[in-house]
Amino acid sequence: MAGLEEVGIPGREFLREALTNCSDPLRAIEEFQEENGILLPSLRPMLPLLDLHGVCRLDFHTSVREELKERLLQQIENLGKQEGREKEKKLKEMLQKSFPVIKVPALRPVVMCILKNMDHVEEKYLKQLVNDKTLYKECDVQVKRQIWQEHQSLFGDEVLPLLSQYIREKEEALWSPLASSSSSSSSSSAGGGGGDASSSSFFGSSPKQRRQGAVLQQLLVMVGRNVVLYDMVLQFVRTLFLRTRNVHYCTLRVELLMALHDLEVSWE
């Protein structure tokens, strides 16, 4: 596994070199297993019992790793809830030791959890996350906010599809009832008022209800309490409005501002 050697754990390259230079490959593999297995004297006598039950060593070590990982993740989350410099210092030390194994899929959640709980991630780590699309996609939004502040194009890649979806949904809500009412005008004319009832889907909901829309809520999550990202969203909205003159962008700007007000967000 790439990255293990960087934290002092013999990995694939170490084993390849050992097999290349040894005279007895089977003995070399056995020594590697003994040196890198779970080094608990009390556990050694139990391993033959697992063999009798058909539990292979890979399954055993994988289950132990997963159990330890879950406990470590919980400890990191508990540490992240604390306040003060000591929390940030501990997380920084943990990140420094664990970041080299971020490309090991089984261990990546631990590194991502540390990053998520840090108030500030150093630029050297953010650059590596940006340069690897897989790592970037798996980052928590709290980490992505720090990335987006320095990489407006990445933020645009995430935001612009949402803005397009917002406009599309507004247009559909406004015009689809009119289209359906015109197609059934002959049948609705006898009863009267059919078109008004259909258009209520756009005009009937209250402003606060409209602010609960999925797109707007997703934008709120992305912006958080970050004034820089909020200004970026407004810049995108302003540019698109000037380009298209679509009044729904004005509505979006107001709804976003009021939604932040609902959450009692104040810019520091």
Same-domain pairing of 63 and 128: yes
Q: What is the 3-state secondary structure (H, E, C) of 18-82?
A: HHHHCCCHHHHHHHHHHHHCCCCCCCHHHHHHHHHCCCCHHHHHHHHHHHHHHHHHHHHHHHHCC
Note whether residue 5 is domain-resident: no
The CA distance from 40 to 68, in Å, is 15
Note whether residue 12 is domain-resident: no
Count structural domains, the chain: 2
Tens place of pLDDT per residue across the chain (268 aa): 556 766 777 777 888 888 888 888 888 888 887 777 777 777 777 778 888 888 887 888 889 889 999 999 999 999 999 988 899 999 999 999 999 999 999 999 999 999 999 999 999 999 999 999 999 999 999 999 999 999 999 999 999 999 999 999 998 888 775 555 555 554 444 444 444 444 555 666 777 777 888 999 999 999 999 999 999 999 999 999 999 999 999 999 999 999 998 888 876 5
Note whether residue 107 is domain-resident: yes
Q: Domain of 162?
A: 152-180+198-262
The CA distance from 168 to 155, in Å, is 20
Same-domain pairing of 205 and 129: no
Same-domain pairing of 59 and 72: yes
Predicted structure pTM score: 0.79
Last residue of a domain, one of 150, 172, 188: 150
